[in-house]
Amino acid sequence: MKAGREFEWKHLRNLVYSDSEDEVETLLGAQLNSTQSLAVTTREFRDHINVEATWLNAATGRCNTLRKLLVKQRQHIATLDTLDTEQCQIVAEMSADRLPRSTRLQLSRELGELEERKSKATAELCEATKSATGEGAAIKQDLEQWCTKDKKITERIERSPMRTHDLQSDESHAQCLPRHQLSAAGIPQSSASDSLAPCGAVTTPEIDDSQLQADHGCRPTSVDNSHQHAWRTSRNPFSQTHQDRDDVTYNHEFKLPSISEHLHLPIIPAVLNICSSKEAPAKVPINHDAAAHSKVHQVPLQPKKRHVKWTIERGGCAAPDEERWLPRRVSKGHHSSTEGRQGTICLFYEQGSRRTMNVMAMPVFRKQKDDGSEEEISEEDLYRYTRYRWLCNEPENLSMRYRKFKISALVDAAVNAAGNCARSCVKLLKCTEGQYNKAFLMTMDNGAEVLARIPNPNAGPAFYTTASEVATRHFLRTVLNLPVPRIYAYSLDPLNPVGTEYIIEEKAGGKPLGSLWHQWQTESQLGLVTQLVDFETKLASVSFRRHGCIYYKKDLEKKGLPAYDLEAGSLSSDGPTRRLNSVIAEEFALGPLTEARLWERERATMNLDRGPWSTPLSYMAAMGINEIQWATAYAKPQMNAYRSIETPDSPDDYISLLKRYLQFAPYLSPGPFRTSLSHPDLHLDNIFVDPDTKKITCIIDWQSAAVSEPFLQHSIPRMLIPVGPCSPGERLEAALEESNVREESNGTVDLLSHYQNLSRLKNGQRWAAINLHNRPLLTEPVSLLCGAWSKNDIFSFRHALIHVAARWKEIAPATTPCPIQFTERELELHNGELELVEGLGEVLHQLQNDNLIPLGGMVLRENYEQALHINNSVREMFVDMAESESQKVLYSRIWPYQDRDS
């Protein structure tokens, strides 16, 4: 630029000496215009530098605020760790033998107070996390606004006459020189200050050094003002390019004011939604014990540069492995395959005053429909339950199945878990929805597929359900060698970057049996039933001494819970039991049940007995005692229209029934049995098969699988129970009788008979246990009591107890009197209620049999409007059947498919 100006003034001096007045006047006018343009552009650039300084100060203030919030977050985590330690000590004291009752009560009170303090600390931790997340989002928004403003100002400066003149006179002077170099070049210091706006004019940001940054491995640093601004080149500030024959390389970098070493701020990537690179992450210590189970590690910010090579092709560019690194702005007029896709901008600072923007494209969101087809959905649909709707209490049912989480973090975790050089996820398919989990099939850019599963709130306690399922599936794969999907990654920490517990596993091989079963010939179906019997036989081949769920021992210990040894043994064909390999069994333990009914609402914070138990009687008694504790503390009077439309039921009546149940309990237990593991829900869609060989390839859905006594397990796989208007138990009993008659009459063997015969032959001990005399009579009370008051269905529980009392002689010896009695008034009220229940039940079962409204009022979303119209019409008809006005009011109240408050 200096050389260009010297040339102009020399030329002007020569013209003056030659007395060429016209030429001198023309050149002076041009020089004046150029000087005016130069002044305007200089002011714009100086204003830009001042704006840059203001933004940097504001960003520093926000980051200081964020750091304080994160310090507060760590303090809450430390408090939770302390409370966990105290809880472990109290639990250890309570587990001591022969502990005085007064001491045990005192410890129980202390444990209750401790639970309240933990709940308060957890709430404060969530609030701090929410505040930090909000502050991080604000920082990200400010950054995006600054980048937009920076781009506009840069473009104006590059179009200015001064910029054009500088490039034409001397491209080597495109970058501004420090002051001492400007002086050496003969340019006045004042001119340099006006035209270049040195970085020294920028106000130094105040970095809050009150908090140490040792935990991040870096010392506090501030912006160094001793350097000047580096002038931006004339190329695209977002994507510099150069061409080498037929290849074009994009360097996604642009200049910033020089920052000494690096600007270090204690930013947690999860808060700013920053994705880490695929390199091995640096380990950051996290105090809270649950975080140790997370496969997604928080990593510090790392400088990163990416040079992307693109090949020019006809009609555009091709870079199959680098799509996610291409910025939205496309140079040279080519079209990007990522145009229009969502992206996450990650900002990294490094020495050399460069910042790099990586754009990781988000996958396409799609949903699998019931017919197997797919449709595109919004992000919100990933969190919501969209398969069914309810004719009653729909908001409550939907909220129990709504789970918000961070999509970008889940995608990042899935990409890391997929391996095989996967760089990005290109498609996220929401699988056909179940009642308790959200499942997403995620396809990577290299074709790899993984399945991510997240539990819904109604699935039970997320930590316990996830921890138990992970350990149980590992046990099944390693000890029993059963076909169960492999788990690639999981997290038990709700504060992980995803925001909830999750499991990432391999995609199940084969196809769901439900899509093939009804197309198979009988011979193929019989072969599949044989495989199921072999599967159940292998499950029963390992027996235990307690009733509970399988966990990793380390997970229970870190939670401060007792971890009971498996004491598992393998049953050989000749009868004796052999203990499992101690090395294999050492990492596993038995812990509490994960059934949702034991953790619903207030029960989640109560100190209930959830196992494990050493005898069936201890399990049955614990269920009754737990319910009495809950009812005493939380049950309130509620209306029961089946009994009265004026007087509510009292919780005392429910507690009275529970106490009578405890008197029955010793007689309901058939005696000690060795427990075994069983699948909780063996229906068609949980079994995957090879369509060609018709062999089982995989069995899924082990959530809440438990080790229990065989007579408490499902006796027949649900897929073999006929569909009908009766209860599953009644349908099964009728099917068994029909099956026996058919086999005796013509010698043919149907599927149910084939299952029975093979089970009796191959799995004799389990078969004997599930075919105990009066088994349904013994097990119905314990299966119906938990949550009966919450569901407003104490009728079914009372009916089971009355049934036991009426058939007492079939249960106990003749010399043993029945320990409980029901008064005539109680039986009269119950029989009146029974008449209403049976009458209404006939109507509801008829609606189901005619494929109009399924039992429970849960209908497919596309059938909702039709079902709602039918429901309203049938309800009116049912009410019109009443013989009096009071009966009409009664009938309108007991109709089940309406909101409770209506």
Per-residue pLDDT of 720-763, as tens digits, reads: 876 655 555 555 555 555 555 454 444 445 898 899 999 999 99
Is 705 buried (19+), middle (13-18) or exposed (0-12) by CB count in 10 A? buried
What the block records as the tokens of 17 is: 């000496």
pLDDT digits (tens, 9 = 90+) for 850-876: 999 999 999 999 999 999 999 999 999
Taking the CA atoms of 199, 200, 201 and 203 in sequence, report the sign of the dihedral they define: positive
For residue 749, the model assigns a pLDDT of 54
In terms of pLDDT, which residue wins out, 315 or 129?
129
What is the rounded average pLDDT of the residues 754-778? 89
Is the pLDDT reported for residue 140 higher than 80?
A: no
What is the rounded average pLDDT of the residues 769-793? 91
| Position 126 confidence tier, pLDDT thresholds 50, 70, 90 | confident
What is the rounded average pLDDT of the residues 285-308? 38
For residue 321, the model assigns a pLDDT of 38
Is the pLDDT reported for residue 21 higher than 70?
A: no
Is the pLDDT reported for residue 163 higher than 50?
A: no
Strand blocks (E) in 604-674: 638-640, 644-649
Q: How far apart are CA 711 and CA 770, in angstroms?
A: 5
Instruction: Kindly state the DSSP code that residue 613 receives in the 8-state scheme.
Output: B
What is the residue-averaged pLDDT of the chain?
A: 75
| Position 143 confidence tier, pLDDT thresholds 50, 70, 90 | confident
Q: Which of 493, 405, 415, 489 is nearest to 454 (CA)?
A: 405
For residue 14, the model assigns a pLDDT of 54
What is the rounded average pLDDT of the residues 288-292? 38
Neighbours of 125 (CB within 10 A): 20
Cβ contact 360:482 at 8 Å: no
Is the pLDDT reported for residue 269 higher than 80?
A: no
Q: How far apart are CA 708 and CA 86, in angstroms?
A: 31
Is the pLDDT reported for residue 818 higher than 80?
A: yes
In terms of pLDDT, which residue wins out, 123 or 37?
123
Least confident of 733-737, 765-769, 788-792: 733-737
Opening angle at CA 512, ends 538 and 845, nearest 5? 95
Q: In sequence order, what are the beta bridge partners of 375?
A: 367
What is the rounded average pLDDT of the residues 144-158? 70
pLDDT digits (tens, 9 = 90+) for 96-115: 655 676 676 777 777 777 77
The distance in angstroms from the start CA to the end CA of the chain is: 83
Instruction: Tell me which long-range contacts 217-225 makes (C-beta under 8 A, separation of at least 24).
Output: 217/282, 217/300, 218/262, 218/264, 219/264, 220/264, 221/260, 221/261, 221/262, 221/263, 221/264, 223/56, 223/257, 223/259, 223/260, 223/263, 224/258, 224/259, 224/260, 225/199, 225/200
Cβ contact 665:621 at 8 Å: yes
In terms of pLDDT, which residue wins out, 165 or 431?
431
Is the pLDDT reported for residue 145 higher than 80?
A: no
SS3 488: strand
For residue 779, the model assigns a pLDDT of 93
Cβ contact 613:546 at 8 Å: yes
pLDDT digits (tens, 9 = 90+) for 578-636: 667 666 778 999 999 999 999 999 999 999 999 999 999 999 999 999 999 999 999 99
Is the pLDDT reported for residue 318 higher than 80?
A: no
Q: How far apart are CA 208 and CA 220, in angstroms?
A: 9
Cβ contact 440:430 at 8 Å: yes
In terms of pLDDT, which residue wins out, 23 or 382?
382
For residue 119, the model assigns a pLDDT of 77
In terms of pLDDT, which residue wins out, 318 or 64?
64
Tell me the HSE value of 272 on the side-chain side, using a 13 A CA sphere: 27
pLDDT digits (tens, 9 = 90+) for 172-208: 444 444 444 444 444 444 443 443 343 333 333 333 3
Q: How many residues does the chain have?
A: 902
Beta sheet of 449-455, edge-to-edge order: 374-376, 364-368, 425-430, 437-444, 449-455, 502-506, 487-491
- State the residue for tokens 């709504």: 402
For residue 344, the model assigns a pLDDT of 36
> What one-letter code names the amino acid at 146?
W
Helices (H), 219-340: 269-272
Tell me what percent of the residues of the chain surpass a pLDDT of 70. 66
> What one-letter code names the amino acid at 659?
K
Q: Return all residues near 142 (Cβ < 8 A) that are at least 6 apart.
A: 55, 58, 59, 62
Q: How far apart are CA 451 and CA 345, in angstroms?
A: 26
Instruction: Tell me which long-range contacts 812-821 makes (C-beta under 8 A, separation of at least 24).
Output: 812/667, 816/667, 819/663, 819/664, 819/667, 820/660, 820/663, 820/664
Least confident of 35-39, 242-246, 550-554, 838-842: 242-246
pLDDT digits (tens, 9 = 90+) for 410-452: 999 999 999 888 999 999 999 999 999 999 999 999 999 999 9
Is the pLDDT reported for residue 550 higher than 60?
A: yes
Is the pLDDT reported for residue 896 higher than 80?
A: yes
Q: Which of 372, 638, 604, 407 is nearest to 511 (CA)?
A: 372
| Position 664 confidence tier, pLDDT thresholds 50, 70, 90 | very high
Is 783 buried (19+), middle (13-18) or exposed (0-12) by CB count in 10 A? middle
For residue 773, the model assigns a pLDDT of 83
Q: How far apart are CA 322 and CA 317, in angstroms?
A: 11
For residue 225, the model assigns a pLDDT of 38
